[in-house]
Chains A and B, each alone.
Chain A
């Protein structure tokens, strides 16, 4: 039981490049979330999903897209990376009927 895993762990992009971050969970959780963590800002919600095939915007969705084609995977895409998207990205999942989110180890992204 790996819990929540994130790929890749680190990435450096140039402005304008695109990439996809993968989050995978093996706990059969319905809910999945993407957060970004910036110094002095805590964590802020980017997008979330309440089940396979569904997505919704969070607090800071601009510049990101997401997909949840399979229940166990939640992808976060950056179509045209900007330096303001330099951050640490965390994925989390949660079981229906509970309120505890389980977090992945994070992806550190730098956009130059």
Chain B
């Protein structure tokens, strides 16, 4: 079956620091890959996605590249802000599975001023 493994947290950074959250996956087919973000007390929001190898998803300064050869989709941001403090989830879905999302366990990011 499908699975997603992401970096264990929590991660604590100072404002303007560089962020990397690692994510690797196992899939039976050719999945789409996602990063969702959950701000405190809220539901999940799509942050970015990529649907094929070498695609780069980007949004709000965050980026992730779909690497089929390493089955990875690492999230990066060059300069984090306090407002980026949230839980980040890596996930995948496949057409053949009715687009059911398989999530990683989530990484809590705290950014201090």
Binding site for B on A (CB under 8 A): 4, 31, 33, 35, 40-45, 48, 50, 56, 58, 90, 92, 94, 99-101, 103-106
Contacts and interface: CB of A to CB of B under 8 A. Distances in A.
Given A41-B105, A99-B32, A104-B43, A58 B89 contact: no
B100 A99 contact: no
Contacts of A100: 34, 46, 49
Interface string B48-59: 010100000000
Contacts of A40: 105
Interface of B: 4, 32, 34, 36, 42-46, 49, 51, 89, 93, 95, 98-101, 103-106
Contact of A43 (B45, B89, B99): B89
A48 B98 contact: yes
A42 B98 contact: no
Contacts, number: 53
A71 B101 CA distance: 20
Contacts of A92: 44, 101
Given A90-B43, A99-B51, A103-B44, A45 B100 contact: yes
A56 B98 CA distance: 10
Q: Which 9 A-B pairs have the closest CB atoms?
A: A42-B103, A103-B43, A42-B105, A103-B44, A43-B103, A105-B43, A99-B32, A106-B43, A42-B106
A40 B45 CA distance: 19
A48 B44 contact: no
Which residue, A43, A44, A45, A94, has most C-beta atoms of chain B within 10 A? A43
Contacts of B36: 103
B49 A99 contact: yes
A80 B1 CA distance: 30
B93 A99 contact: yes
